[in-house]
Amino acid sequence: MTTSSPERETAPAVQGHPQRWLILGVISLAQLTVVLDNTVLNVAIPSLTGELGASTSDIQWMINAYSLVQSGLLLTAGSAADRYGRKKMLTAGLALFGLGSLAAGLAESTGQLIAARAGMGVGGALLLTTTLAVVMQIFAPAEHARAIGIWSAVSALGFACGPLIGGFVLDHFWWGAIFLINLPVVALGLVAVVTLVPESKNRQGDRPDLLGAVLSTIGMTALVYAIISGPEYGWTSGRVAATAAVAVGVLALFAYWESRVPYPMLDLAFFRNQRFTGAVAGLTLITFGMGGALFLLTQHLQFVLGYGPLEAGVATAPLAVTVVVLNFSGVAAKWLARLGTPVAVLLSMVLMSAGLVAIATLTGEGYAGTLLGLLLIGVGCALGNPAMAHAIMSAIPPAKAGVGAGINGTLAEFGNGLGVAVLGAVLNSRFAALVPVAAASLPAALASAEGEAERERVIDAFSSGLESSQLVGAVAVLAGGVVASVLLRRAEKGSA
């Protein structure tokens, strides 16, 4: 049965909400904080390795605990936002994210930090789904592309500026401060959301798919754990094989359950839309390559080139600056309109892939090669990310905006987490093959090296592993561009 509560909206008004741009600024602030925490830990890796005794696997789990919890809960969070109210879920997400940040900042062991990061992921899941869902509700359809472009630019800004902000904080405070700086932002966000953001709900919300949420979380966690554990225990070891089997089995069960349940968390019928499928493929692979590449690049800048945390953050900032300038100036939107979505997506992926290749092969030339790579990646992100996000959301009914945002966020977070795991595993495997005496991390291997020649050999091995990992990421991004553009082109021809 449907109701007619005035706060329940099924579609945005033709003219949009009168305060829509101010509201976009408010929710972008919340979005920025969540995305920052995907990368802010990257520059703290040396500090965590020394002060908490964290191994490479520990570091990966500190990063992946956050992204994996989000990946598992985003669909459920989106469904809950549609059913119970997007403003309510946005407020709850901010509060939970703040509490998790406080616990992370005060953590005294790797286990406590991993647990706190997982808690932050719960709040982050609510935030990521509701911000994009609110954008779709308060803006008129004609403004969706522009609004999503700004939303996407803010996400890219947070993703790339995490190392910069983290580096600045680490130069002046201890590592826990990178989480405590979230608290004033959360407080400001709560006040602004309560004051400005309108409530909106689906007229006929679906029953929450709790089993689907459990299955997706277990399946994706098991999958990434198997990938992280491969280099340490061996890809054919019982531990890795068993975990991989659990991942495949649980994810298969998840797909079966979603195809049978009358209120699916993920409606598999969406995948029959080639526009949706093309954007999904592109988004997953673009975040796979980007997440893993940035994770590795910040380690290379600090461990190999000797940059400090702040220097490493500044060195990666051109990527974010490029994205923000092109999106906020409207240049990227003009290119998208002129080229069309399929060509724009392919071009963006080609540019990003070329950027990763430049970083992998030109780092020996100094920072110039890295800068070229970051600029190419930035142009690609500015053009491709809004196009794919808009393609996904436009293929979802307006009343399911939360679910659509959940799908978009799930793929981005899963791709990012999987990229860190896979490219980190490639690095570790290459490093271990070249330096058999290598311990759990590069600092440990350097500490055990005898003489300057041995230290140089260890660093060269790490650089070789970095190059291999970046090239794997480049191939993944390029493949995503080809697949996405072909499917998007077919979708356009089919609807013509």
pLDDT, one tens digit per residue, over 403-427 is 777 777 777 767 776 777 778 777 7
CATH number of 17-205: 1.20.1250.20
Q: What is the mean pLDDT of residues 272-293?
A: 78
pLDDT of residue 232: 63
Of 67-71, 277-281, 382-386, 389-393, least confident by mean pLDDT is 67-71
Report whether pLDDT(264) > 90: no
Determine the average pLDDT of the residues in 336-348: 85
Residue 360 to residues 12, 254, 490, Cα–Cα distance (Å): 45, 37, 34
Determine the Cα–Cα distance for residues 477 and 348; give it in Å rounded to an integer.
Answer: 10
pLDDT > 90 in the chain, percent: 5
What is the per-residue pLDDT across 244-254, written as a single tens digit (0 to 9) for each? Answer: 899 899 989 99
Find out whether 65 and 114 touch, Cβ atoms under 8 Å.
Answer: yes
Residue scoring higher pLDDT (189 or 7) = 189
Can you give the pLDDT at residue 351? Answer: 93
> What's domain 267-495's architecture?
Up-down Bundle (1.20)
DSSP letter assigned to residue 441: S
List the domain boundaries for the chain: 17-205, 209-262, 267-495
pLDDT tens by residue, 203-240: 655 666 778 878 877 887 787 677 766 656 776 788 88
Q: Does 267-495 match 17-205 at the fold level? A: yes
Express as a percent the part of the chain with pLDDT over 70. 84
- pLDDT band of 446, cuts 50, 70, 90: low
What pLDDT was estimated at residue 4? 38
Q: Long-range pairs for 266-273 at CB < 8 Å and ≥24 separation?
A: 266/75, 266/212, 266/216, 266/403, 266/407, 267/400, 267/403, 270/395, 270/396, 270/407, 273/395, 273/491
Which structure tokens are listed for 407?
């799908």
Backbone angles phi, psi at 96, to 5 degrees: -65, -40
